[in-house]
Amino acid sequence: MKSLKLTFISLIFVMSSREQKARSHKIDPASVILNDNAMKMVPFINNRDSAIKALALLDRATSIDTNYFLGYSNKIMFLSQLTMYNWKFRRPRSFYSDLS
């Protein structure tokens, strides 16, 4: 009897979970364009000025779409190249002019 109850409860869970639809996030095209422009600077990643310009583009991309994971991932790549490990993800725009 106990196994019958357990089977019935698990069947209810399975049936209810099948009706749920996964939510998909539509990425803002402006964020993708900014990310693509920043990725054009990857061959020049050793140049500090290029890395700072790419970071500025990626900051704009992630501020437009805060759920854009690829933008944050690429931002970490440029930050690690600049050895800025304690960087906060949101910086004022004037910060980039201070780095130059």
Tens-binned pLDDT, residue by residue, of the chain (100 aa): 666 666 766 656 666 655 556 667 788 899 999 999 999 999 988 888 898 899 899 989 999 988 888 998 898 888 888 876 665 555 545 555 555 4
Please give the pLDDT value at position 83: 77
Please give the pLDDT value at position 80: 83
SS3 content of the chain, % helix, strand, coil (to 5): 65, 0, 35
Where would I find the H helices in 19-68? 29-39, 48-64
Distance CA 42, CA 60 (A): 17
CA dihedral angle for residue 51, residue 56, residue 61, residue 64, rounded to 10 degrees: 170
Distance CA 18, CA 34 (A): 37
CA dihedral angle for residue 52, residue 94, residue 28, residue 69, rounded to 10 degrees: 60
Every domain of the chain and the residues it spans: 29-99
